[in-house]
Amino acid sequence: MVQGNQIDSNVSRRGIRTMLSRRGVMAAAVASAAIGLTRMAKVPTVEAAGQPLAIGIVNNSSDGPTVLARSGGSAGLNALTLTNSNGDAFAATSSTNIGVNAGGLGAGVLGSTSGSGGTGIQGTVIGQSNGYGVLGQCNTSVGVWGASASNIGTIGSSQGSHGVFRGASANSAAGVFGTTTNSTGTGVTGTSVGGIGIQGTSTSNVGVYGITDSSVAIVGRATGSGKGAQFFGDVEITGNFVASGMKSAAVKVSDGSTRRVYCLESPVSYFEDMGTGQVTDGRGSVTLDPMFLSTVTSDQYQVYLTPEGDCQGLYVEGKSSGGFTVRELMGGTHNVSFAWRVVAKRAGIVNERFAPVKLGADPVSPSAGSPKPASQHMVEVPTLPDLPGTPAIHIGPR
């Protein structure tokens, strides 16, 4: 076995004779190949007959690689194996191009670690304004795939920008796509200690869109003193609106504070309209708004009258589908204005009195069988290593 950190190209022929006497013919052949490495422009070849070899090599040629390893043995035999119990097993740098270029019918690069806090493959960009720590590309399949049997498949973190960023140029492609086949799993989960867990934005379409066939498209759930949902801007609902609590409006009052005013609820869904009219010589009539009549069952409605002057009182003499007539009580003939209010059942719905309702259960409640939110993994950003130099390549144990 030949050991050393750097082969000196000025080693004399006498030195080789000495090596022949000490190491044997095989070792001398290896040393001669190393001596010629710095003089040759072609790809050098270093061979060891089944023995580990420690060498230091420098290739000043631009025609080939510094180390070329081939394996013609049985399946599973590595062409090149590097181990180091104290430092980097392999360090590759390039000032103008790729540090490591590996290809294979299986895995181009396979990185593994046996340490509990180790990293199988780590890519860093140090001292540059831009670049890629790890870049995965594929024309027809997955660019980067992360998988785990019992923990996180892929983690992205950043100290000053996006932890994970994905852009899609195809019309039907998704910027981020997450899926799970587990009935209690979560397709996409976002967590944050003090910021936003998940944010969706769009310049011309929907920011966040939820779809479901038989459950709830979007659920907001508050724990503690938080709110289940909060909106800044107009809210539009196509469908029924059900609330188990109070429905109110927030209004500014005279002292400058904002206070609640509550909705008037009824066992039946009613619409109402109101206005003013005039009684002349004790008689008057009101024509209802046709647009209002198109929203209610106009064959049955209630009218409430309030005189706005001195008279003997007013009553509804008759009602039709288009309006009603008013008379003064006891045949009075006063001239007086009045206010009216009409209440009618809403049309176009099943207007059942005290209709039963079943409130939906929390789909992420702790009850058995319900989907549960994914665990909140808070990952610290790993410390980046120092930029390696260009050390000699060490093959085998030191």
What does the domain layout of the chain look like in residue ranges?
Answer: 1-102, 270-346
pLDDT of residue 40: 45
Is the predicted pLDDT of residue 381 greater than 60, yes or no? no
Q: What is the pLDDT of residue 92?
A: 77
Give the span between the Cα atoms of 214 and 221, in whole angstroms: 19
The reported pLDDT for the residue numbered 298 is 87
Place of tokens 């831009």: 130
Checking if the pLDDT of 395 tops 50, the result is no
Which residue shows structure tokens 């860093």? Answer: 124
**pLDDT on residue 355:** 93
- Inter-residue contact 218 to 208 (CB < 8 Å): yes
Tokens 């479901």 -> residue = 212
**364, 295 contact by CB (below 8 A):** no
User: pLDDT value at position 19?
Assistant: 44
347: Cβ contacts below 8 Å, ≥ 6 apart: 294, 295, 296, 297
Please write the tens of the pLDDT for every residue from 348-367. Answer: 999 999 999 888 877 766 55
Does the pLDDT of residue 215 top 90, yes or no? no
* Unique residue bearing structure tokens 């759930």: 221
Q: What is the pLDDT of residue 167?
A: 64
Architecture of domain 270-346: Sandwich (2.60)
Which one-letter amino acid corresponds to residue 377?
A: H
**How far is residue 386's CA from residue 91's CA, in Å, rounded to a whole number?**
12
User: pLDDT category, 2, cuts 50, 70, 90?
Assistant: very low
Mean pLDDT of the chain: 76
Q: Is the pLDDT of residue 184 over 90?
A: no
Task: State residue 323's pLDDT score.
Answer: 96
160 class by beta-carbon count within 10 Å (0-12 exposed, 13-18 middle, 19+ buried): exposed
- 31 pLDDT more than 70: no
Which range, of 20-29, 104-113, 121-130, 295-304, averages the lowest pLDDT? 20-29
The answer to whether 212 and 398 are in contact (CB under 8 A) is no
**Above 60 in pLDDT, residue 159?**
yes
- pLDDT surpassing 80 at residue 149: no
Task: Specify which of 5-14, 144-153, 258-267, 387-396 reaches the highest per-range mean pLDDT.
Answer: 258-267
Q: How many CB atoms lie within 10 A of CB 296?
A: 22
The pLDDT of 292-315, averaged and rounded, is: 95
Residue pLDDT, tens place only, 92-122: 777 777 777 877 777 777 777 777 777 778 7
